[in-house]
Structure 1
Amino acid sequence: MKDSTDVKPQDLASAIGKIRKRDGSIVEFQMAKITNAIYKALVATRRPDYALAERLAEKVVQRLIKQGFDASNIPGVEDVQDIVETVLIDEGLADTAKAYILYRHERRRIREEKMKILERSRLDEVDKALSTNSLRVLASRYLLKDESGKIVESPKQMFERVAILIAIPDMLRDARVFMLDGKFKRDDVARVNAYIESIDELDGRYSIGRYRLNKWHLEAMLRLYKELALQNRMKVGIDELLSMLEKGEFDAYEKRVEEYYRLMVDMYFLPNSPTLMNAGTRLGQLSACFVLPIHDDLASIMKTATDAALIFKSGGGVGINYSNLRPEGDIVASTSGVASGPVSFMRIVDTTTEVVKQGGKRRGANMGILEVWHPDIEKFVTAKTKPGVLENFNVSVGVWSDFVDAVKSNEKYALRNPRNGKIVGYIDARQMMELIAISAWQSAEPGMIFLDNMNKYNVMKDVQGLIRATNPCGEQSLYPYESCNLGSINLAKLVKRRADGSYEFDWQKYEQIIRLATRFLDNVIDVSKYPIDEIDRATKASRRIGLGIMGLADLLYMLKIPYNSREGYELMNRIAEALTYYSMDESVEIAKARGAFPLYNESGYIQGRLPVAGYYELAKEEHTHDWDALIEKIKRYGIRNSQTTTVAPTGTLSMIADCSGGIEPTFALVYEKHVTVGKFYYTNRIFEEALREAGLYSDELLKKIAENYGSVRGLDEVPEEMQKVFVTAMDIHWADHIMAQTVWQRWISNAIAKTINMPNDVTAEDVKCSYLLAHELGLKGITVFRDGSRQQQVLHITGESKVKRFDAIPSSYVVEYIRRYVKDGSLLREIEGAILKSDRAKSSSRGYVLTSAGEGEVLCPLCKSKLVFAEGCNTCVNCGWSSCIVS
């Protein structure tokens, strides 16, 4: 036998070839896995030396070869691990060997826990790759179950179920069967309907390569075929299409299924929750949220309630602008009675939400909007300051620029009866603004929707009028009956490690993921099974999608860039611009083959307009992409989707992907997490690695951080540079929260789900100034959460002895930005006074305890753990329950 020391390092892995896993399967041998395991043991013993780990891994493989293992004598996982322990001891690294042994035991414990969560006796490669947190969320809410509640699919099968469905629109646009400008009149619609009626007989009959289509995949394909056939675009009849499928003539699309599958299973991208839950199932409804109209007559009101019930049953949420309803006490001529007002009719939908459980998964969610000119605005603003009222609603005041102008100039503001448009009275605009702020200070509601900013660059207003409503979390502006089809890219996955061990952002991979995810979401529109016909028509008329991101905070941690810094904001700006640019550019590419969205020729795109504020409001030399060239492409080829980007809530999705949520800072670096066997300190994985590499990791420090509201600010044990990088939501001043949302809003065509966190000791004046600043900087909406502001505390999940040792102060960047962009002098002075005041500053050395505005805590309805409020949603960090439909 050749001496293993003569084998070159790059040839060592190939000399072994394969390895036998614990389940008996044989896979490719990867020396990098040995290196990584050894490196983790070195880090645990304060020797973070990756080069040493590589050398030790080479010695392990050399010893395997020496013991006779090769391509014909395949080693098992246990064989390799035993040799690792021996090599570490022989190299004088007994403490590292001990850490490695503990690591093996921990891995075994995790495997057993995963099998228990999934109710399985064996784990596949996807189960092993996903964290226990991720699997717990999937098992709780996403994996299919039988009538007894037993899990009947694995995460791998779930992702395959989704990927197969999403690939069907690609297959039906194959040039052999589809032509965009075709004139193929088909007379087989009745035949298609017959297939749909007997869909049970088609279950599992057809495949795309190795991927078997279930009956619900086939039903979606038949529905899409019928739609395209009625547009005269199908070259072949349904029988011929099914024959081609049966003969394997579409097997090349196995590669596309695989692309969508890997996009999700590798956690580069996840679609909104209804898509994961319902794709390839009987329900088949893939959209997250909808907007419904409501008009000032009983028939419309009851139809809206009925439509809402159908949406809740299908797994969606609803946004409604109630401003068309006449005010309380107004005359009702048909009955000689008086109207009960918008708030009373909101209770109908609230009750409907309570009694209709969504697809067996969860209850619905609503956004209720009332515009500030409505006579019932005061009742609406204060409605949720009382506990138990409209609990299934988020509420927001819709404002136009004339109200903001009246606030600035301290003028009266007219109230109008929506029944006839007549002025019925006046309010003091500043007092109303203060009432809104006081209510939000007390209960975190209402938020504000800035309808003028929302419509400023709205390319659809020429054909559809002004947008006046949003989905339940406020990030997706929608016309009546439109739906939001959302998904999020995991930025934390898009990094490359440099030779020195540091990270850099992978811009090329980012573009690739954006383009594939854009196609994914466009396909969602085609295969979703909408709850009512009006939604089907409205959604396909505009084909609005919302591609967003998650994992921003984790990305910044890895790049060692503080969230609230000039460098942080500049990176956010560049990432946001690329997201919308590449998604729109890909939408043009899709339009070339499939056609522009049906309302394109009546939209602002024809005049070269864009729904992107940054294009207009930032100098061209500040752009990193050629937007003018994109405009010309759109005018020449059209665009597939009226809008393409949204930053949606990702609370549960980010738990599946094991990353931070949306564009939010991390809510806590360390917190107490409760599980069935007790409680432990959960630590952000990137922060934990940094602590270990710095030799700082200890249970004592974790406890101290958890009791410092999950922050390292003000802790002498943590180096100052680490304190700057590893910031949390409560470390960041509310003005910097608004700044981050502003940076993203410049480039996002829809809007942003974000919570503007504030400490307990802010005043209602601070809240008011935050709302005015948000409007001034171009935000489309804002949600404020003051720590302890709700009737029951929801933000904190730390111990009883929590003490805060720091104050959040605004960054110099945001102060300079506000001074540069807020033009109204009196408003600038008011905002400056709010963000720069120091009369409540606390000494960081003595610390102080924050109080809660009420008794008890809001608990998760499923597992009774404490909730986190972020991205406008209550989310459970234990089981993944979320009050938001999207996440």
Structure 2
Amino acid sequence: MTMQTSQGGEASLTESATENTTAQRAANLTQAPGASAAEVSATAPGQLRVIKRNGTVVPFEASKISVAITKAFLAVEGGTAAASSRIHETVAKLTEMVTATFKRRMPSGGTIHIEDVQDQVELSLMRAGEHKIARDYVIYREQQASKRAARQSLSAETQEAADRINVVQLDGSKAPLDLERLHIIVSEACAGLDDVSETRILDEALRNLYDGVSMQELSTSLVITARTLIEQEPNYTYASARLLCDNLRTEALSFLGVADSATQGDMDRLYAKALPAYIARGVELELLDPTLAEYDLERMGKAILPERDLQFTYLGLQTLYDRYFIHSDEVRFELPQIFFMRVAMGLAVEETDREARAIEFYRLLSSFDYMSSTPTLFNAGTLRPQLSSCYLTTVPDDLHGIYGAIQDNAMLSKFAGGLGNDWTPVRALGSYIKGTNGKSQGVVPFLKVVNDTAVAVNQGGKRKGAVCSYLETWHMDIEEFVELRKNTGDDRRRTHDMNTANWIPDLFMKRVFDDGDWTLFSPNDVPDLHDLYGKAFEERYCAYEAMAATGELKYSKTVKAQNLWRKMLGMLFETGHPWMTFKDPCNLRSPQQHAGVVHSSNLCTEITLNTSADEIAVCNLGSINLPQHVDENGLNLEKLAETVRTAVRMLDNVIDINYYSVDTARNSNFRHRPVGLGLMGFQDALYKQHIAYGSEDAVTFADRSMEAISYYAIDASSKLAEERGAYESYEGSLWSQGILPIDSLGKLVEERGSDYIKVDDSMTMDWTSLREAVKARGMRNSNVMAIAPTATIANITGVSQSIEPTYQNLYVKSNLSGEFTVVNPYLVNDLKVRGLWDSVMVNDLKYYDGSVQAIERIPADLRAIYSNAFEVEPRWIVECASRRQKWIDQAQSLNLYINNASGKKLDITYRMAWYSGLKTTYYLRSLAATGTEKSTIDTGQLNAVSSESAPAPAPVPMACSLDDPDCEACQ
């Protein structure tokens, strides 16, 4: 016997038995078997008939209803003797109820629509109290309606093409293309998204398919089709991500043995089943910590929120898939919410009520309100939880110590740590070596070894090793040091893969301002300068200069300060290195002055912690998603306080859980317990408030938002100290004296002199009460705040990185996961509101490299708000950073953007950075004056190279965030 499907085809009853639930079969079986026209016309008078959805008429047969409902009950209650007896009686009553209803309505016979029959079956189930079966029945009817809509929404040509396509299954067999399932997947992907067309995705994807296509190719076709539409409508990025998620579900769930495939709707029940299967498999494969299996996994599974899969952008989810999800033999068996739960559980393993804390951490991470740094996301919950981001070391002036430091670099880099090395103590080229009665080769040959070590130790294949070497400006090797990244000269004295940074004393900057001389020394002749700063450094340095002038110090060199400064700026422009970082503000404002000296920053210039031969500084990072805390009333302080409280706890937990490959790092981290809470999405937060980056309002928001983060972070760490105890070296710190970061700003002004600094010291919150609370409770962490680059975790959460202005409003981003179209959704939405978003606007944005300034039909107010990074004057970037810096106990990864950079522009910008009290700067990003051919623009006349002036030097490398995605240590 056969049964007609809703599309008019035929399916056997045995095929019907493979449906997802028996209640679903009940819906199918109430559609009576097909009958020929002759059979229908011969139907006896008074007999009921059923009109099917395709218009055919068939006899009504109560037995079909009885069979279907019987199978539905058996699926729910099983086939035991007791159950069978009850089911038989109940089914008979239900069948009679349905049949009697229609006979009562039509005693002389007549036609009934199939929907009426199904309505009565549903109603009878409800009246009989069989709510579970009735619920499944209703759900299945909705799914079938969606399937019918699939075909109706497609063009006849596409439907015909789909009917000819057979898909190669995972086991190698072929099956007809399941158009209905495709429609469900695409409908789910487009649900709730404005201006996104599921029909367009299906039509265009099916147009590119062929008979014999594999399941993987079929899924990929949907994803690629959706992602090509992102430049026209930013919401397609969410549709693309959801379609990609369908691939992930198939890959992971089949590997775990949970299901062959699943829709997003199925994950309401499947996530809870997948979590214990995932942990069991991960432990079995020795990829996960067995401790995770000791959690109450039923409770953890119920806490998972499947709907949070829907908030990913395509770039974010693809980034997670390619580089973060745990895999075995290249099979990713970690799904997005399981990923966040794994990290949360890994961070809560030592909590008293670890389930409750893990759920709290999971909810924060999966909401995107806060994101842990890449090493934490990589390794939390694994057998080797190296969760810390940054390691800072000081290299001693002896051969054993130098190679020991290089070995430390290798071990720390192996497990995904980013490195900052202080090389100032190592004696200069030509200086005397007593042990051999010879002369030193200086710092540079050792830095070549450091460079090659970073390349060789590639962090388990996940990314390249990354290190930055620092040298103070008075070191005799400084002139050769600034040339390390040049592409000319002796390649044996070049480090093409290593970052470098100048560690600049205030006295040097004063000499630059005053056009004075500057003296270079070898550190073995002036060893105490390494540990001195502020007025103490100035006094001792001037004393050494006097000794050099009288011949008492024979090995020195005097240069014009401005000449050296110009060389530093010239190399920065030409090679992107060395970066400019400032020794004195880092030390004068350090809460840990009593415990040592800050000798350098880290890989990304935001960490400023003490180092020595006995201590390798460690920092643990995470970032608040600032736009998630901005609503129609501005900054949501209540939500921000809650986010910061949980985030600081998570960061503090890292210290105790972390795997330390070097004992000196472990000892330092347990003694001082520093963490670095930062932020990302600053530009998005401005967009949400319609504030231009280049404005006083932006400066004020930078000030107020960082003040709030600082206030809540200090309070959270202090409350943790009350619960867990203050950090070991707390006594004697600025914290213990009631001196908070905002208060240390005055110390910098006093030491430097008011002629060389201009900073704002305004405040709006109750800092007096917080000072007293800190003095009473102590602090859990020696350092609490630092703003990292966040390039990768900003990709994951779909916001602008760190404190950066928008790079371009439309561009193609390339990283290890591929190429991704990035379009500014805030701009598109504002243009839509004003009726300006169309294909011409897309072409205009392409032609002008994502800039809106030359597009005259865009109103002036929008052109100001959507100025890109090279269109915002550097003074606004510096001023925003200055306002943040007064609240931060560490520093910021601050990139500076300069359009058509010149020596004068660089000179003014970097003097301004120092003058504004900044501790560090990061990359200089310059833009050449030449345009490039716009090959993807529709209008051929636009395909030409334009030049406003003579070609500028090649743009400086964009580093971690744009051109070099390998560097993720601080992100």
Aligned to 1:329: 430
Aligned to 1:153: 334
- Output the CA distance in 2 between the equivalents of 1:479 and 1:345: 23
The answer as to whether partners of 2:419 and 2:602 remain within 8 angstroms in 1 is: yes
Deviation at 1:393, TM superposition (A): 2.0
- Output the CA distance in 2 between the equivalents of 1:884 and 1:98: 33
Aligned to 2:713: 583
2:730 pairs with 1:600: yes
Inter-CA distance 87–746: structure 2 relative to 1 (3 Å threshold): farther
Equivalent residue runs for 1:93-108 within 5 Å: 99=197, 101-102=199-200
Deviation at 1:337, TM superposition (A): 2.8
The CA RMSD over aligned residues, in Å, is: 3.6
The answer as to whether partners of 2:428 and 2:441 remain within 8 angstroms in 1 is: yes
Equivalent position SS for 2:850: coil
Aligned to 1:243: none
2:268 pairs with 1:137: no
- Output the CA distance in 2 between the equivalents of 1:509 and 1:65: 47
Deviation at 1:68, TM superposition (A): 7.8
The answer as to whether partners of 1:681 and 1:702 remain within 8 angstroms in 2 is: no
What residue identity is the alignment partner of 1:408? Answer: F
2:574 pairs with 1:469: no
What residue identity is the alignment partner of 1:144? Answer: I
What residue identity is the alignment partner of 2:445? Answer: S
Aligned to 1:170: 351
Deviation at 1:79, TM superposition (A): 6.6
What residue identity is the alignment partner of 2:689? Answer: L
Deviation at 1:81, TM superposition (A): 6.3
Deviation at 1:358, TM superposition (A): 0.5
The answer as to whether partners of 2:901 and 2:927 remain within 8 angstroms in 1 is: no
The answer as to whether partners of 2:741 and 2:886 remain within 8 angstroms in 1 is: no
Deviation at 1:288, TM superposition (A): 0.8
2:908 pairs with 1:769: yes
Q: How many residues align?
A: 671
Q: Percent identity?
A: 27
Aligned to 1:732: 872
2:697 pairs with 1:697: no
2:389 pairs with 1:288: yes
Deviation at 1:609, TM superposition (A): 1.7
CA distances 1:180-227 after superposition (whole Å, capped 9, x unpaired): xxxxxxxxxxxxxxxxxxxxxxxxxxxxxxxxxxxxxxxxxxxxxxxx
2:538 pairs with 1:437: no
Deviation at 1:383, TM superposition (A): 1.9
Aligned to 1:873: 960
- Output the CA distance in 2 between the equivalents of 1:372 and 1:559: 42
Deviation at 1:86, TM superposition (A): 14
Structure 1 residue corresponding to 2:654, chosen from 524, 534, 548: 524
User: Which is further off, 667-676 or 73-82?
Assistant: 73-82
Deviation at 1:456, TM superposition (A): 1.8
- Output the CA distance in 2 between the equivalents of 1:580 and 1:676: 34
Inter-CA distance 112–631: structure 2 relative to 1 (3 Å threshold): closer
The answer as to whether partners of 1:167 and 1:523 remain within 8 angstroms in 2 is: yes
Deviation at 1:98, TM superposition (A): 9.5
Equivalent position SS for 1:602: coil
- Output the CA distance in 2 between the equivalents of 1:362 and 1:507: 37
2:646 pairs with 1:494: no
Equivalent position SS for 2:557: strand
- Output the CA distance in 1 between the equivalents of 2:931 and 2:582: 30
The answer as to whether partners of 2:347 and 2:381 remain within 8 angstroms in 1 is: no
Aligned to 2:496: 391
- Output the CA distance in 1 between the equivalents of 2:715 and 2:672: 17
Aligned to 1:744: 884
2:827 pairs with 1:687: yes
Deviation at 1:711, TM superposition (A): 1.6
Inter-CA distance 725–416: structure 2 relative to 1 (3 Å threshold): same
Inter-CA distance 561–342: structure 2 relative to 1 (3 Å threshold): same
Structure 2: state its 5+ residue gaps.
1-18, 24-117, 154-193, 204-225, 227-235, 253-260, 268-305, 527-543, 549-555, 750-757, 938-945
Inter-CA distance 363–437: structure 2 relative to 1 (3 Å threshold): same
Deviation at 1:479, TM superposition (A): 2.0
The answer as to whether partners of 2:742 and 2:761 remain within 8 angstroms in 1 is: no
User: Which is further off, 672-681 or 508-517?
Assistant: 672-681
Aligned to 1:885: 969
The answer as to whether partners of 1:672 and 1:799 remain within 8 angstroms in 2 is: no
The answer as to whether partners of 2:694 and 2:872 remain within 8 angstroms in 1 is: yes
2:918 pairs with 1:779: yes
The answer as to whether partners of 1:291 and 1:318 remain within 8 angstroms in 2 is: yes
Deviation at 1:757, TM superposition (A): 0.5
The answer as to whether partners of 1:651 and 1:882 remain within 8 angstroms in 2 is: no
Deviation at 1:104, TM superposition (A): 8.1
Aligned to 1:483: 618
Deviation at 1:264, TM superposition (A): 0.8
- Output the CA distance in 2 between the equivalents of 1:427 and 1:339: 22
Aligned to 1:544: 674
Relative contact order higher in (CA < 8 Å, ≥ 6 apart): 1
Structure 1: state its 5+ residue gaps.
1-21, 27-63, 89-95, 172-249, 803-845, 859-867
Deviation at 1:512, TM superposition (A): 0.9
Inter-CA distance 627–696: structure 2 relative to 1 (3 Å threshold): same
The alignment's TM-score, normalised by the length of structure 1, stands at 0.70
Equivalent residue runs for 1:535-684 within 5 Å: 535-612=665-742, 616=746, 622-672=762-812, 681-684=821-824
Deviation at 1:535, TM superposition (A): 0.5
Deviation at 1:162, TM superposition (A): 1.1
The answer as to whether partners of 2:845 and 2:851 remain within 8 angstroms in 1 is: yes
What residue identity is the alignment partner of 2:901? Answer: V
The answer as to whether partners of 1:394 and 1:473 remain within 8 angstroms in 2 is: no
2:486 pairs with 1:354: no
Structure 2 residue corresponding to 1:310, chosen from 411, 430, 433: 411
What residue identity is the alignment partner of 2:370? Answer: F
CA distances 1:9-65 after superposition (whole Å, capped 9, x unpaired): xxxxxxxxxxxxx999x9xxxxxxxxxxxxxxxxxxxxxxxxxxxxxxxxxxxxx99
What residue identity is the alignment partner of 2:702? Answer: M
Deviation at 1:649, TM superposition (A): 0.9
- Output the CA distance in 1 between the equivalents of 2:196 and 2:395: 67
2:502 pairs with 1:402: no
User: Which is further off, 359-368 or 525-534?
Assistant: 359-368
Equivalent position SS for 2:856: coil
What residue identity is the alignment partner of 1:348? Answer: V
- Output the CA distance in 2 between the equivalents of 1:675 and 1:292: 30
Inter-CA distance 79–881: structure 2 relative to 1 (3 Å threshold): farther
Equivalent residue runs for 1:118-137 within 5 Å: 119-120=251-252, 121-122=261-262, 124=267, 125=306, 126-137=308-319
Aligned to 1:11: none
Structure 2 residue corresponding to 1:448, chosen from 571, 576, 580: 580
- Output the CA distance in 1 between the equivalents of 2:933 and 2:805: 17
Deviation at 1:773, TM superposition (A): 1.0
Inter-CA distance 672–319: structure 2 relative to 1 (3 Å threshold): closer
Inter-CA distance 375–596: structure 2 relative to 1 (3 Å threshold): same
Deviation at 1:398, TM superposition (A): 1.0
- Output the CA distance in 2 between the equivalents of 1:292 and 1:593: 31
Equivalent position SS for 1:338: strand
What residue identity is the alignment partner of 1:382? Answer: E
Aligned to 2:51: none
What residue identity is the alignment partner of 1:655? Answer: N
CA distances 1:166-192 after superposition (whole Å, capped 9, x unpaired): 112322xxxxxxxxxxxxxxxxxxxxx
User: Which is further off, 474-483 or 299-308?
Assistant: 474-483
Inter-CA distance 799–368: structure 2 relative to 1 (3 Å threshold): farther
- Output the CA distance in 1 between the equivalents of 2:949 and 2:703: 36
The answer as to whether partners of 2:673 and 2:727 remain within 8 angstroms in 1 is: yes
The answer as to whether partners of 1:709 and 1:798 remain within 8 angstroms in 2 is: no
What residue identity is the alignment partner of 1:690? Answer: D
Deviation at 1:703, TM superposition (A): 2.7
- Output the CA distance in 2 between the equivalents of 1:735 and 1:98: 40
Deviation at 1:307, TM superposition (A): 0.5
- Output the CA distance in 1 between the equivalents of 2:833 and 2:852: 16
Inter-CA distance 798–354: structure 2 relative to 1 (3 Å threshold): farther
- Output the CA distance in 1 between the equivalents of 2:145 and 2:915: 62
Aligned to 1:822: none
- Output the CA distance in 1 between the equivalents of 2:683 and 2:121: 47
2:246 pairs with 1:115: yes
